[in-house]
Chains A and B, each alone.
Chain A
Amino acid sequence: MGDYEVLRTGVLIIGGGGAGVRAALEADGQGAEVCLLSKGPVARSGITPLAYPSLQAAFGTGDPRDNPDVHYRDTIAEGRDLVDQNLARVLADESIPRALDLERFGIRFKKQDERFFQVQHPGQTYPRNLFIVGGGFGLIHGLRKELQRRPGVRILEDFCVSHLLRDQGELMGAFGLHMRDGRFYAIEAKSIVLACGGYEELWGNTDTPPDSTGDGIFLAFQSGADIIDLEMTQYYPTVFAHPESIKGILVQYETFLEGKYLDFRLVNREGREFLPQGPLPGRDTLMRLILSEVEEGRGSDHNAVYIDPSRSSKKREEIDRLVRELLEGPDRNLKGFGIDIRKDRLEVCPAVHHTLGGIRINERAETSVQGLFAAGENASSVHGANRISGNALSETQVFGTRAGKYAAQHSRGRGYGSLPAGEIREAMQKWNGFVQRKKEGIRPLVLRRELKAVMDRYLGPNRDDEGMRKALQKVLDLRGNGLPKVEVSGGKIFNLDWRTAIEVSMTLDLAELVIRSALLREETRGHHFRRDFPETSEMPQHTLVRKRDGGIEVTHSPVSVLGP
């Protein structure tokens, strides 16, 4: 066992996506000393680069009747009464100035007559989505460029954080593995911002990149923070189910199926349309409609349905124009995979897309642990039980900024704690244990695969008590009997299996929390569908998990309503 490096900073940001980079910019602007850790290269890892171009902000250029009050009300209504109203208020009010910040950083939005071009997606009373040129990659690429103009911000990429460190109960830093030199680091900090994304990769059926393992939520739980609504996994209704080469890439149904846009139709294997008349439903409702077709035997051979262009009311030229206008290059051109999205039927099914549960925060992005802040998909309760298109990127900017600002303020005038030597030794022992030879060693990939299979089977869109208890048993078994057998070979520098082993260790703990939360919610709401409890309770409540006396406390907690 070797020793470890020690670094020091004022504000430590964990996560290099939209929320993390925005937090870093803000904390830097506040004059704090900032260090940002990212599990991969910034703008080339995490979920933000894969985001679609939508960012909600109620400028009212698409329709003059729109304003932040309507944005607020839409967010609450579509969140199925599980939204923290104070957070939704902040989101609706501040997405406008934050979008203007982005323009100042050099990120481009589509314009019409020099005004923001806005489109309307299901759940929005009026057109409210701005269109980011280059989509999520355009956003994070621009943020990264702005970050490079701030020489004071220290960036460590390919850094996997595995522990938050405490000194006599007080948060004092973070610990993890730097893949680039294969060494462990303890980083002392006065405030910490968690902004490293959702936990979609607990499932196999997902449209997210492989690094979306929810590390920040695990870290917050370990340090005693309140974690809420982990059972709320948002499905995107239409993700390619076939062919294999593009499986997991989403098809933006809001553009393809909306009558005023492409007006393609959703059909089952018999070629019949099955959506009810009226406006296009939100994601939770649409997901259920698609699953019903599949469950009742009218799905495709890959348990999917089809987006059918042949019945669109739009003429060919208009479709060409709309495709150019509303879809980004890579998403309108799948010819390399033998697909013409304007002519071919697309085989699609629901997949895990966004995780709504996470760390409980207040309007200042503070968690329940002093000095610990959270933003973006690490945080919870901005969207409740169902999220509207465009609110995810707004959330990264609004709460990323707030987290950076209040973390910087918190760090002022504070000193450093002492490094908890025992805790660090224990952590190193645990991770070094993976590289030691075992009698019957297994690769971490095996555990990852098995966890995904369990979550897909029992924690998918149809859940019940019996199945979820089986899942819990299996997860505890993987952790108790599988994890000690994990063996990693090769050197320590950029060892993918080693990183996977650390990730798997964290995701097995996180999966237990997800399952316990889902068991507690004995009702159906938004994206949480209980076969054994199909009704929606009249008293919406959060599920809450936290670490207490070394164990897991699982309980309910009321939903915050708008303060005076």
Chain B
Amino acid sequence: MGGKSIHVRILRFSPEEKRGRVDTFQVPYGPEMTVQTMLRYIYEHEDSTLAFRDYRCGRGVCNACSMKVNGKVTRSCQRSVRAGEEVLLEPANDRVIKDLVVQLD
């Protein structure tokens, strides 16, 4: 770890409360970090209740980890992040199960 941290905002949705909110995290930048590994960091170290697809094909073929990154639907395992970057993460579509987990087509 080193360099500037990443400023992450995540659109959360709690199905129990039927409510959305935006949470903010500061993630220490690590070399070769992708949005997927960054989410894993948040889940493991910051917030155990964060829901995202932790499945990892890692090659950009399966689409399981798709989400909107700064407004654009992206495969999170293929999207690298830069030190100091500001990132907004939202679910890939409207059929949200929880947080970034959606029902896929």
Q: Are B14 and A491 in contact (CB under 8 A)?
A: yes
What residues of chain A lie closer than 8 Å to B51, measured between beta carbons?
494-496
Q: Total interface residues on A, using CB and 8 Å?
A: 39
Q: Which B residues between 58 and 105 are near A, CB-CB below 8 angstroms?
A: 58-64, 78, 80, 97-99, 101, 104
Most buried by B among A245, A445, A492: A245
Say whether B46 faces chain A, with CB atoms less than 8 Å apart. no
A331 at the interface (CB under 8 A from B): yes
Query: In the complex, which residues of chain B have a beta carbon less than 8 angstroms from the beta carbon of A50?
Result: 57, 59
**A45 interface residue (CB < 8 Å to B):** yes
Q: Is B20 close to A, CB under 8 A?
A: no
Q: Is the CB of B31 within 8 A of A494?
A: no
Give Cα A210–Cα B40 distance, bound, in whole angstroms.
Answer: 12
Binds B, one of A4-12, A36-44, A451-459: A36-44
**What are the residues of chain B within 8 A of A493 when measuring CB–CB?**
15-16, 97-98
CB-CB nearest in chain B for A488: B48
Known contacts A45-B55, A45-B64, A49-B62: does B16 contact A492 (CB below 8 Å)?
yes
Q: Say whether B59 contacts A249, CB under 8 Å.
A: yes
B77 → A minimal CB distance (Å): 10
Can you list, as one digit per residue, whether each of B10-37 has a CB less than 8 Å from chain A (1) or not (0)? 0000111000000000000001101001
Asked if residues A337 and B32 are in contact (CB atoms below 8 Å), the reply is yes
With both beta carbons as reference points, the residue of chain A lying nearest to B98 in the complex is identified as A494
B52 — which chain A residues lie within 8 A by C-beta?
496
A330 vs B57: C-alpha distance when bound (angstroms): 10
Q: Is B48 in contact with A137, judged by CB distance below 8 angstroms? A: no
Q: Which residues of A contact B61 (CB under 8 A)?
A: 49, 134-135, 137, 330
Contact of A243 among B32, B44, B55, B98 (CB under 8 A): B32
**Across the two chains, which residue of chain A brings its CB closest to B32?**
A245
Instruction: Indicate if the CB atoms of B63 and A44 lie closer than 8 Å.
Output: yes
State how many angstroms separate the Cβ of B9 from the closest Cβ of chain A. 19
Cβ–Cβ < 8 Å partners of A45 in chain B:
55, 64
- How many angstroms between the C-alpha atoms of A143 and B103 in the bound complex? 19
Cβ contact within 8 Å between A443 and B48: yes
Identify the interface centre among B52, B64, B80: most chain A CB within 10 Å of its CB: B64
Give the distance to chain A from B38, nearest Cβ to Cβ, in Å: 12
Within the complex, which residue of A41, A492, A494 is in contact with B64, where a contact is CB–CB below 8 Å? A41
Task: Specify the main secondary structure of chain B where it touches its partner.
Answer: loop
B4 interfacial contact with A, CB 8 Å: no
Q: Which residues of B contact A244 (CB under 8 A)?
A: 31-32
Cα distance, A488 to B16, chains bound together (Å):
16
Rounded to whole angstroms, the CA-CA distance of A488 and B43 in the bound complex is 13
A497 on interface, CB distance cutoff 8 Å: yes
Complex: A88 Cα to B37 Cα, angstroms: 41
Complex CA distance for A493 and B59, rounded to whole angstroms: 28
Q: Which residue of A lies closest to B99 (CB)?
A: A494
Q: Is A211 part of the binding interface, using a Cβ–Cβ cutoff of 8 Å?
A: yes
Contact, CB under 8 Å: A40 / B49: no
B97 and A210 form a contact (CB under 8 A): no
Among A44, A137, A182, A209, chain B packs the most CB atoms within 10 A around the CB of A44
CB contact under 8 A between A245 and B16, given known A210-B56, A330-B60, A330-B61: no
- 1/0 per residue A131-144: CB within 8 Å of B? 00011010000000
A137 to B43 CA separation, bound complex (whole angstroms): 27
Q: A491-B49, A497-B48 are in contact. Are A209 and B32 (CB under 8 A)?
A: no
Question: Shortest distance in angstroms between B65's beta carbon and chain A's nearest beta carbon?
Answer: 9
| Cβ contact of B80, chosen from A41, A248, A336, A443, cutoff 8 A | A336
Taking the complex as formed, is A180 at the interface, i.e. its CB lies under 8 A from any CB of chain B? yes
Nearest Cβ in chain A — how far from B27, in angstroms? 16
A50 to B56, CA, bound (A): 9
Contacts of A182 in B (CB 8 A): 16
Among the listed A137, A245, A489, A495, which residue makes an inter-chain contact with B34, where contact means beta carbons less than 8 Å apart? Answer: A245
Among candidates A40, A489, A491, residue contacting B55 with C-beta atoms closer than 8 Å: A40
- Is A413 on the interface with B (CB-CB < 8 A)? no
A210 and B77 CA atoms in complex are apart in Å by 14
A551 at the interface (CB under 8 A from B): no
Min Cβ gap B51→A in Å is 5
Q: Is the beta-carbon distance between B43 and A496 smaller than 8 angstroms?
A: yes
Instruction: Knowing A209-B57, A210-B56 are in contact, say whether A495-B49 is a contact too (CB < 8 A).
Output: yes
Contact A44 B62 (CB under 8 A): yes
**A182–B15 CA distance with the chains assembled, in angstroms:** 10
Given contacts A245-B32, A492-B16, contact A211 B55 (CB under 8 A): yes
A-B pairs, 6 with minimum CB distance: A490-B49, A245-B32, A330-B59, A44-B64, A494-B98, A491-B16
Q: Which residues of chain A have a CB within 8 Å of any CB of chain B?
A: 40-41, 43-45, 49-50, 134-135, 137, 158, 179-180, 182, 209-211, 243-246, 248-249, 330-331, 336-337, 443, 445, 488-497
A-B contacts, 20 of them at CB < 8 A, read A40-B53, A40-B64, A44-B53, A44-B63, A49-B57, A134-B61, A137-B57, A209-B55, A209-B56, A210-B54, A243-B31, A244-B31, A245-B32, A330-B59, A331-B59, A445-B44, A491-B49, A496-B43, A496-B52, A497-B49
Please give 14 more A-B residue pairs, beta carbons under 8 A apart, in addition to A40-B53, A495-B49: A44-B53, A44-B63, A44-B104, A45-B55, A209-B56, A243-B32, A245-B37, A249-B59, A336-B80, A445-B44, A493-B97, A494-B98, A494-B99, A497-B48
